């Protein structure tokens, strides 16, 4: 029953991470990929690879039939689902069983019992585990709205078929419920193929605590302690750590025992995670069980010294776990951040494109599937890498992670690198006091846009200055744009790399140096990269991107003021909310795009009449394409 050849039914960093452990164990590997991932790193690392369909997940990574065919074609005897995609779809282990293949994970019955949030909640209530008050049942909008009122706002709408924040909406008041329900159901249908939702009372400002469990087929089960995943945006985790600053040894034992009761109740095998909300009084409430490996499993590996993928493979291969609860010890503290291709300043809008330069930190664990020139497609999750620091104390781990983030080069696609550093450096996080409301409560500090003007000046100097004076001796105009901000500068080059910059009312002198620039005699490391009109700068531990408009004609008026609504990213049109002839108000919603499994609403910048709609629902559109034209009112 030992595994000899493993097919990884996933992509990106988790596929690469599984391949590394399988290779160390002497297990041959097979990668599957979409047409969009033909040149991806996991494809190049595996011993064999098979293309299983088109770019969209529904045409490839969600096609169970093609995954089974790929395993049979290559002689693989086991399939690892990773996380996301089919990892919690009971039909995959069932198909594996029918085909005589080993599924690296729990049984279809266990996934069915715990993968459905409503069923899992009922099971937990039977086991005496505290649960959040809520409703599960009739899916008509009228009934759900009535039940939400009975529960009392705020309420949480949650897709029953999946996790990772997909199909989840926090609703503050009754007037917002209908739109939130439609959006949650649409997102759940696209991500999981099932738009069933449940309602729960929203616990205000809790901590998100999860317990890692591992069980074998011989009745042995252990928990590996907790992870604190409270720092989230859009109900998706951003920073995870172990152990939690808020969990005592006594509470850890109590929550661990509850998790093991759940495992025993369903005869669970493999790796799994039970997620809880922990309120300020120390009361915990069951949310859901993820019947798979978690994105944040590296922090548990760091403090326990265990390889969770190796344990998964050994258990799936019929071996005993070989561990008792007394064998589980914890060493130090570990913190992980998720580096995502997204724009925090634009509501964490997903980004896609080519990662022109990628240099991971040397002193941290970094799980990724990136290389210089790697393409970040718009079809999948926005996470591109995970950085993990492990140290004897929490603050040492935090400081090491801040340093490692600063050393990371990610140029070509906008990421949340700077935002992550700001979160780690915030006094509330440093004190171990962050809850799920952390990002929302500290928006002013985390989204301040500090240092952008200085970054623009450095980009102008490195992009235009030379080590000798310009012969005409006149200033050169430089116009850099970043989002809605415009940096209009005049740059005068002097001998020995000295540059004088006029930036509004400010006057600055910088000197070009071998590793960046000199400011007041102090060298600052800076790295510039150009690609057409795009200018990318790594400085002060983060990346900045600008559009060089120095040679472009000057235009007046705000973007979108011409009535043209353009796609803000590569994505799929999931909802058209207007038609030609409709009257729209300024700021009115006109369409919804889906990118990287998240929905993004587009609005008209002007009041007027819809003249044309250049897309239909289901269209895949590229960034900046004109989708709706509105004739402004006179």
Catalytically active residues, by annotation: 292
Write out the H or E segment, with its range, that includes residue 437: none
Distance CA 210, CA 228 (A): 7
For residue 98, the number of C-alpha atoms closer than 13 Å in the C-beta half-sphere is 11
Distance CA 522, CA 452 (A): 19
- DSSP assignments along 552-586, one per residue: SPP--S-TTTTSEEE-SSSEEEEEE---TT-EE-T
For residue 92, the number of C-alpha atoms closer than 13 Å in the C-beta half-sphere is 31
Q: Is the dihedral of CA 90, 92, 97, 103 positive or negative?
A: negative
Distance CA 164, CA 151 (A): 24
End-to-end CA distance of the chain: 75
Q: Scan for tokens 């999931």, then name that residue.
A: 574
Nearest Cα neighbor of 484 from 568, 600, 416 is 568
Distance CA 174, CA 28 (A): 54
Q: How far is CA 82 from CA 8, 9, 14, 319, 376, in A?
A: 7, 7, 6, 20, 19
Tell me, rounded to whole angstroms, the distance of Cα 127 from its chain centroid.
Answer: 33
Question: Which residues are CB-contacts of 70 (< 8 A; sequence separation ≥ 6)?
Answer: 7, 30, 32, 50, 52, 76
Cβ atoms of residues 168 and 235 within 8 Å = yes
Cβ atoms of residues 167 and 192 within 8 Å = yes
Where in 371-474 does DSSP place strands (E)? Answer: 374-376, 383-391, 409-411
| Polymer length in residues for the chain | 634
Distance CA 296, CA 231 (A): 13
Q: How far is CA 568 from CA 559, 572, 626, in A?
A: 12, 11, 10
Write out the H or E segment, with its range, that includes residue 392: none
Distance CA 309, CA 83 (A): 12
Distance CA 161, CA 188 (A): 8
Q: What SS3 class is residue 275?
A: strand
């Amino acid at each position: 029953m030992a595994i000899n050849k493993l097919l990884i039914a996933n992509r990106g960093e988790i596929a690469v991470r599984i391949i590394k452990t399988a290779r160390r164990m002497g297990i041959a590997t097979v990668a599957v990929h979409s047409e969009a991932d033909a040149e991806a790193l996991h494809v190049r690392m595996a011993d064999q690879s098979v293309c299983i369909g088109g770019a969209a997940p529904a045409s490839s990574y969600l096609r169970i039939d093609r995954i089974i065919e790929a395993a049979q074609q290559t002689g693989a005897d086991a399939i690892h689902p990773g996380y996301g995609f089919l990892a919690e779809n009971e039909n995959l282990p069932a198909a594996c069983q029918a085909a005589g293949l080993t599924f690296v994970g729990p049984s279809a019955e266990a996934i069915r019992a715990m993968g459905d949030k409503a069923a899992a909640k009922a099971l937990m209530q039977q086991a005496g585990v505290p649960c959040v008050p809520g409703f599960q049942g009739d899916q008509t909008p009228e009934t759900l709205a009535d039940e939400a009122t009975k529960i009392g706002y705020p309420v949480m709408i949650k897709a029953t078929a999946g996790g990772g924040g997909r199909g989840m909406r926090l609703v503050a008041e009754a007037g917002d419920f209908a739109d939130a329900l439609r959006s949650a159901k649409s997102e759940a249908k696209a991500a999981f193929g099932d738009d069933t939702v449940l309602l729960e009372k929203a616990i205000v400002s809790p901590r998100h605590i999860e317990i890692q469990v591992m069980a074998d087929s011989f009745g042995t089960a252990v928990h590996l302690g907790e992870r604190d995943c409270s720092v989230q945006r859009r109900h998706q985790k951003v920073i995870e750590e172990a152990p939690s600053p808020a969990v005592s040894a006594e509470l850890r034992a109590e929550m661990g025992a509850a998790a093991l009761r759940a495992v025993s109740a369903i005869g669970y095998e493999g790796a799994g995670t039970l997620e809880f909300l922990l309120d300020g009084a120390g009361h915990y409430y069951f949310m859901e069980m993820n019947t798979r490996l978690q994105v944040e499993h590296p922090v548990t590996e760091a403090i326990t010294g265990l390889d969770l993928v190796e344990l998964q493979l050994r258990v799936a291969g019929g071996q005993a776990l070989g561990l008792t609860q007394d064998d589980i010890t914890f060493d130090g503290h570990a913190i992980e951040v998720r580096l995502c291709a997204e724009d925090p300043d634009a509501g964490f809008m997903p980004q896609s494109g080519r990662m022109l330069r990628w240099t991971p930190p040397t002193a941290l664990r970094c799980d990724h599937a990136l290389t210089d020139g790697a393409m970040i497609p718009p079809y999948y999750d926005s996470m591109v890498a995970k950085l993990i620091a492990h140290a004897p104390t929490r603050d040492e781990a935090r400081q090491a992670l801040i340093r490692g983030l600063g050393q990371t080069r990610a140029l070509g696609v906008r990421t949340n690198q700077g935002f992550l550093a700001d979160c780690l450096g915030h006094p509330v996080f440093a004190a171990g006091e962050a809850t799920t409301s952390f990002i929302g409560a500290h928006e002013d500090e985390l989204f301040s846009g500090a240092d952008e003007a200085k970054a623009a000046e450095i980009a102008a100097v490195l992009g235009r200055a030379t080590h000798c004076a310009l012969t005409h001796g006149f200033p050169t105009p430089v116009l850099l744009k970043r989002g809605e901000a415009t940096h209009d500068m005049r740059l005068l080059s002097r001998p020995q790399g000295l540059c004088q910059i006029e930036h509004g009312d400010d006057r600055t002198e910088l000197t070009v140096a071998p590793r960046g620039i000199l400011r007041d005699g102090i060298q600052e490391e800076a790295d510039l990269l150009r690609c057409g009109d795009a200018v990318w700068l790594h400085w002060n531990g983060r990346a900045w991107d600008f559009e060089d408009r120095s040679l472009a004609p000057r235009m007046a008026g705000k973007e979108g003021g011409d009535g043209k609504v353009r796609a803000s990213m590569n994505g799929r049109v999931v909802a058209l909310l207007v038609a030609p002839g409709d009257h729209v108000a300024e700021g009115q919603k006109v369409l919804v795009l889906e990118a990287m499994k998240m929905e993004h609403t587009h609005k008209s910048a002007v009041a007027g009449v819809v003249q044309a709609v250049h897309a239909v629902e289901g269209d895949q559109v590229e960034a900046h394409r004109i989708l709706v034209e509105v004739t402004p009112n006179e």
